[in-house]
Structure 1
Amino acid sequence: MKFSYALLPDYPLQESLASIRLADELGFHACYAADETWHKDLWLLFAAAAGQTRRIRLGPSVSPVTLREPTLIAQALATLDELCDGRAEAVLSSGNFGLLAQYGMDWARTRPLSRTKEALHVVRTLLDDGTITHDGEFFTYRGLFTFARPVQARVPLKLGAMRGPRSFQAAGELSDGCHHALSYTREAYDYAVHHIRAGAERAGKDWQSLDIGAWVVFATGPDSATAKDAARSMVGIYASSMPEEQLRRNGVEPAALKPIIDAIAAGDLARGIELTTPEIAERLSIAGTPQECLEKIRREIAPSGVNHVICAITDRSLVKAFTGRDIEGMADVNHQLRLIHETVMPAFA
């Protein structure tokens, strides 16, 4: 089992760079960040991190092919790969539906899976060949070329998926893996892995060779109640992007979450947090002491065939920035990285 750090690039940049350096020193597989307008630019951050790290892999999880043109993703990825000497990778998806709405886009009308599959082909072709001629449904190029060339013979490209089953199957069939965001139960991961495996076998691939990642809201520290309260502060913000069927696979009825999402959408974060019960937060996060987090991963995620846990770490600074709440005594990002390294990672070595 690999462990990675999912960074929201909302901290002061020097603090983010220090955390990436620490994750590198501690042996985390990768540092990922969301490629979204809401946050600071991950490509510039990782360009700076490339020269300050030695082993950790860097890239977006996810980059939205609706908002970022896929040849520009390939150009940026190849440039980052040169900067970090062959440690770049990317996860592609149609994008965060809430962000797309702020751009005036109705995600349901964008044919998200078809667009993402075609964009994957475009990025793969330009990375591998340095040139592309393509006449597709969404993207068209006539002899487009780039001098941005990666160091790796094959830069890993994966798909982000939440809904299924076709998105999971496409990831298994067409890409190097799948990052499944915001699921926390054995049922949800059994479902995802079943369809990833079906797609891989359709393409004649060994499904176990794929990167099957669980992207999870994560908060840990010596005090269980404090860590769980921090996670509870963020659950509604993250869960607002979860499709109804995904919520049900995680044991949450969409109707129970609707008042929370409505409050957050109206800008009343305090009310959204108040409505997020400890039971919902427990369902939709991995939080508590390091041992509690370890046991939930061991019980709910690892048995399904997931081979990569991607920890979207929630700490005091992040909660305060997003919600205004100040959770005294909550471990900061660097402390949590050390706790994961000391307690959780060795159990899956």
Structure 2
Amino acid sequence: MRFGIPLGLVRPDAWHDLAVAADELGFDSVWLPEHLVLATGGGMQGYPGGRAPIRPSTPLYDAPVRLAALAAATRRVRLGTAVYLLGLRHPLISARAFATLDEIAGGRTVLGAGAGWYRAEWDAVGAPFAERGGRLDEAIGVLRRLWSEEAVAHGGPHFPFPEVAFEPKPPRRAVPILIGGESPAALSRAARNDGWISMPAPPERVAGAAAELRRLRAEAGREGEPFEVVAHAEGGCRPDETAAWTAAGVHTLIVRPWRRGRDALAAAERFARDHGLAPGAPSDRARPARPAS
């Protein structure tokens, strides 16, 4: 089992120190959430369950830029978004941002992407909220081509453009793309890509989604290809709970072993010690995991 740290659950001024600690302690990855804008008043409506977890006054940052700063301060930890709203932006912009980040990071980037739940962002940029799934799928296809082909022209309905060159390519000529969300559409989209990121959930709920992902990938003849299941724990994870997450089909578990943000560094150190993480160990996560048997 590999473990990640959710940087978005501590203050931004702690991100650098927590990412460096994660890198040194043997954590696999650090993850940033992403929003473009937050509306005031009733604009936060639409979150699954009816209550948004974020206040309109929350500071927002460009995730690839902040992760690039963390890439320069770390050596082995992976740098991920959970999740980035690709459909809100033209894919030429996103492709450039993540290719730049991945070059700085030396191939340690993971692009977690989602269709989004927050209509106000789409209204703010004048993009149809109802088309967010199609825009995301099209953007993913464009990114994969830009990162691997010498010249690309695209005629899709949302982001058409004439032939362009795109250099430099990311170090792996790709960045792994994982899909967040638990709806049938999100699981179907994840099965077509490099992995899936859960919402905070217990292992039994993640197990059900992981089983459905295995079924979808088998139907598509892709069960033998690399695929990573990333789960958000609802808090921490005791050593005796790790087996349940492994049995659920999880490769990487994002944990928050602290109750207060000011305790995050000390809690991460205890977690690493209790779980026998190897300080400074080289990462084995430059590519998506092979599916669990």
The question of a shared fold, defined as TM-score above 0.5 by the shorter chain, is answered with yes
Does the aligned pair in 2 maintain the 1:132–1:144 contact within 8 Å?
yes
Q: Provide the rounded CA distance (Å) in 1 between the counterparts of 2:2 and 2:69.
A: 24
Alignment of structure 1 residues 287-298 onto 2, 5 Å = 287=236, 291=238, 294-298=239-243
Deviation, 1:315, is: 4.4
Equivalent in 235, 239, 263 of residue 286 of structure 1: 235
Q: Deviations over 1:34-93 (max 9, x none)?
A: 122352232222211122111111132211023232221111111011111121120111
* Matched-pair contact (CA < 8 Å) for 1:85–1:151: yes
Q: Provide the residue aligned with 1:341 in structure 2.
A: 272
- 3-state secondary structure, aligned to 1:4: strand
**Match of 1:178?**
196
> Structure 2 vs 1, CA of residues 117 and 343 (structure 1 numbering), >3 Å: closer, same or farther?
same
1:213 aligns with 2:234: no
CA deviation after TM superposition for structure 1 residue 25, in Å: 0.7
Counterparts in 2 of 1:212-251, with a 5 A limit? Answer: 212-216=229-233
CA distance in 2, matches of 1:126, 1:306: 30
In structure 2, stretches of 5+ residues that fail to align are 37-57, 278-293
> 2:157 and 2:6 mapped to 1: Cα distance?
32
The residue aligned with 1:21 is 20
Give the equivalent residue in structure 2 for 1:85: 106
Structure 1 unmatched runs, 5+: 217-284, 318-330
2:65 maps to 1:116? no
Question: Alignment partner for residue 171 of structure 2, among 147, 151, 164?
Answer: 151
1:42 matched to 2:63: yes
1:309 aligns with 2:258: no
Select the residue among 184, 187, 193 that pairs with 2:210: 193
CA distance in 2, matches of 1:334, 1:93: 29
2:74 equivalent in structure 1: 53
Contact 1:196 1:207 survives alignment (8 Å): no
CA 1:121 to 1:55, structure 2 compared with 1: closer, same or farther past 3 Å? same
**Number of residues paired by the alignment?**
255
Give yes or no for the alignment of 1:204 onto 2:221.
yes
| C-alpha distance after superposition, 1:139-163 (max 9, x if no partner) | 2121133224211243211111222
- Distance verdict in 2 for CA 1:152–1:110, change over 3 Å: same
Q: Residue 312 of structure 1: CA displacement?
A: 5.0
8 Å CA contact 1:94, 1:112 repeated in 2 = yes
Q: AA paired with 2:121?
A: L
The yes-or-no answer on 1:169 pairing with 2:188 is: yes
- Cα drift, residue 131 of structure 1: 3.7
- Answer yes or no: is 1:134 the counterpart of 2:135: no
User: Within 1, Cα distance between the matches of 2:161 and 2:122?
Assistant: 28
Say whether the 8 Å CA contact 2:88–2:125 is kept in structure 1.
no
Aligned counterparts of 1:185 and 1:304: Cα–Cα separation in 2: 6
Alpha-carbon distance in 2 for matches of 1:105, 1:194: 37
Aligned sequence identity (%): 24
Residues 65 and 101 in structure 2, CA contact (< 8 A), matched pair in contact too: no
RMSD value, Cα: 2.7
Structure 1 contact 158–177 (Cα < 8 Å) conserved? yes
Offset from partner CA, 1:288-333 (integer Å, 9 cap, x none): xx63xx444543x33221111022566424xxxxxxxxxxxxx611
Whose relative contact order is higher, 1 or 2, with alpha carbons under 8 Å and at least 6 apart? 2
Q: Which moved more, 1:306-315 or 1:114-123?
A: 306-315
Separation of aligned partners in 1, 2:103 and 2:150: 14
SS in 2 for 1:332: helix
Cα distance in 2 for partners of 1:337, 1:190 equals 26
- Shift in CA distance, 60/18, structure 1 to aligned 2, threshold 3 Å: same
- Counterpart of 1:5 in structure 2 is 5
Q: TM-score, normalised by structure 2?
A: 0.76
| One-letter amino acid matched to 2:135 | R
Larger Rg: 1
Write the deviation string for residues 109-153 of structure 1: whole angstroms up to 9, x where unpaired: 423333322221111111122542122232212113322421124
Pairwise CA distance, 1:33: 0.5
The residue identity in structure 2 corresponding to 1:162 is E
2:151, 2:259 → 1: CA distance?
43
Query: Does the C-alpha gap of structure 1 residues 7 and 133 become closer, same or farther in structure 2, counting only changes over 3 Å?
Result: same
In terms of fraction of residues, the more helix-rich structure is 1
Between the aligned partners of 1:162 and 1:73, the Cα distance in structure 2 is 24
Inter-partner Cα distance in structure 2 for 1:345 and 1:307: 17
Q: Is the 8 A contact 1:169 1:197 kept in 2?
A: no
